[in-house]
Amino acid sequence: MVTGRTLHFVFKIPDRRLTAKFYREILGMKVLRHEEFSDGCEAACNGPYANRWSKTMIGYGPEDTHFVIELTYNYGIKEYETGNDFRAITIRSKDIIERARTNNWPIHEEDGKFVMQAPGGYKYHVINEQRPTNGDPVEKVTLSSSNLERTIAYWKDILGLKIFDQKDKSVLMGYSEDQTKLEFEDIGTEVNHAKAYGRIAFSVPFSEQPMIQKTIKESGNKILTDLITLDTPGKASVRVIILADPVSI
């Protein structure tokens, strides 16, 4: 049985200055680390670009205990075409709503929650309640699926996530109750990743990675990048596999 923890979601950003303002001054996150790279990532971390790029990890607490956001910036790329693959990230924090209003950041109420967009068009849902003092305020990442049954089979039966809630057109999954969850919504059409597509990252024990890769291959599902070790300046090297949900991401 796979065990793991949700780590971060990766966004490609077109405007570093405005993006920094949004995440720090509106969402209230803190920069955890920043790295500059002269060449493209071996695992296509920054997308299909071989140019100079940067990576900034930002969140509400340390990466070891919180779900964070990875912002990748490709020098010279000023705009990314957005698809329909990413739906929203949901955060529980009434302070965000107050900061958005104070800073005149566009925000509106929709179906009992507040909605705003980060630079680049990435949507955030904010629950108007006090930020939790003993947990992560980032509640879930919502992505699209064109076939919910196949999505559930992939994430539950192959990757070992548990189902925490399921409706006709959506499912909420994760490795444990106290983590940021992964939600899929059936959008009734093909998922289009376009150019701005992102990634969600999970950590799993080192010893389980070869088994996951073997299971994915035997099930006929797609691996974008086989097991590879990536050097991280100032941190221990990490070993990753880049997978592709057959109908979602």
Structure confidence by residue, pLDDT tens digits, 142-165: 999 999 999 999 999 989 999 999
Amino acid identity of residue 3, one-letter, is T
User: Tokens representing 239?
Assistant: 């070993």
Per-residue pLDDT, averaged over 222-248, amounts to: 80
Contact 249, 85 (CB under 8 A): yes
Q: In the chain, what percentage of residues exceed pLDDT 70?
A: 96
- pLDDT tens for 51-66 read 899 999 999 999 999 9
As a whole number of angstroms, the distance between CA 167 and CA 185 comes to 9
Q: Please state the rounded mean pLDDT for residues 18-43.
A: 93
pLDDT of residue 126: 98
- Listed in sequence order, the residues at least 6 apart from 87 whose beta carbon sits closer than 8 Å to its beta carbon are 123, 142, 143, 144, 183, 185
Quote the pLDDT of residue 57: 96
Residue holding tokens 């005149």?
A: 104
Strand-pairing partners, residue 59, are: 30
pLDDT for 249 beyond 60: no
Please give the pLDDT value at position 112. Answer: 87
Mean pLDDT (the chain) is 92
Which single residue is written with the structure tokens 């990634």? 199
Mean per-residue pLDDT, 196-200: 91
pLDDT at position 88 over 90: yes
* Mean pLDDT, residues 131-145: 93
Residue 248 pLDDT > 70 = no
* Cα dihedral sign, 96-100-106-107: positive
CA distance 185 to 142: 7
pLDDT at 16 over 90: yes
Which residue ranges form the domains of the chain, and what is each CATH number?
5-244 (3.10.180.10)
Q: 213 with 222: CB under 8 angstroms? A: no
More confident residue, 212 or 30: 30
162-181: average pLDDT: 96
pLDDT score of 1 more than 60? no
Determine the pLDDT at residue 40. 83
pLDDT at position 77, please? Answer: 92
* Both structure tokens of 176: 């444990």
